[in-house]
Amino acid sequence: MVEVVEQATVDAFARDGAVCLRGVFNDWVDALAAGVEQNLEEPGEYFDDNTNADQTGRFWDDYCNWQRIPQFRQFAYESAVGPIAAALMKSTKVQAFHEHVLVKEPGTSTPTRWHSDNPYYFVDGVQNVSFWIPLDPVRENSLRLIKGSHLWDKDVLPVRWFSGDGFYPNVDDYAPVPDPDAEPDKFEVLRWDLDPGDAIAFHYRTVHGARGNTSSSRRRAFSFRVVGDDARYVSRPGPTSPPFPGHGMVDGDRLRSDWFPTLSLSR
């Protein structure tokens, strides 16, 4: 494993469920920005607008396009995302899971609801990490994360972004969605001002959200999500997000390497 992350950062990731990595992807900002523009011009099958009629601006997202958009694919195979992820996860192997593009245009009032990614995914295991990489300066519209929430006994209830309805029928299996703004003394929220090329690395179980983008500039974010040695397929009580139809895996299987390839651990 290549030593690319300080031990204090690895320890903080394990303890807090999220860390800020300064400038680690500076060399990839232009390429990823070009990929985002291609994504907008050539949307994938999961492209979605998340802005209600009573909200201003535009918040769109798309995912599972990294193998067809050259800049995203190049990032996966040629950037330091593999060795950084291996260090944070304490894993000898890194598999790509998927990417996610999230763009809030200027004046967008739509927030990103508080949620954790884990219950949406068909992955079980402790070794995972999501990289949230801004392609524009972000301040008040930065990602917000609840410190230590990856260690909670239950995942929070997954909800549909547009409607807020429960994603699965068995709501009693999940903890209620927290509201740190309503109960500021109950939760410690992590938030960092970020510049393009910085990254927030967080665990799939870490609860996070974001305010709208009331600034006069775009807020483009590229997320790349990976798993480590202990990742196994787990069935959920309904279609997952992303769904990856026809994957053919059963509970306990390693993620198939042809769909979720192993990344290089060298820079």
Domain of residue 196 covers: 7-233
User: For all residues of the chain together, what is the average pLDDT?
Assistant: 95
Task: Please give the helix or strand (H or E) that residue 183 lies within, else none.
Answer: none
Distance, in Å, from the CA atom of 162 to the CA atom of 228, rounded to the nearest integer, reads 31
Q: What is the pLDDT of residues 82-127, one digit of tens each?
A: 999 999 999 999 999 999 999 999 999 999 999 999 999 999 999 9
CA distance 150 to 147: 8
Is the per-residue pLDDT at 54 higher than 90?
Answer: no
The domain that holds 156 is classified in CATH as: 2.60.120.620
Q: Tell me, yes or no, whether 246 lies in a domain.
A: no
Instruction: Please give the pLDDT value at position 162.
Output: 67
Q: 231 CB contacts (<8 Å, ≥6 apart)?
A: 95, 123, 124, 125, 127, 128, 254, 255
Cα-Cα end-to-end distance for the chain: 11
pLDDT digits (tens, 9 = 90+) for 222-249: 999 999 999 999 999 999 999 999 999 9
Domain membership flag for residue 262: no
Domain annotation covers residue 243: no
Residue 148 lies in a domain: yes
Total domains in the fold of the chain: 1
Q: 55-69, 168-182, 250-264: which range is least confident on average?
A: 168-182
Q: What number is the average pLDDT over the span 126-144?
A: 97
Does residue 185 lie within any of the structural domains? yes
In a domain, 261, yes or no: no
Asked, for residue 1, whether it belongs to a domain, the answer is: no
pLDDT band of 2, cuts 50, 70, 90? very low
How large is the average pLDDT for residues 71-79? Answer: 98
Q: Hey, what are 239's tokens?
A: 């279609």
Residues with Cβ within 8 Å of residue 50, at least 6 apart in sequence? 59, 60, 61, 110, 161, 162
% of the chain at pLDDT higher than 70: 98
Is the residue at 207 inside a domain?
yes
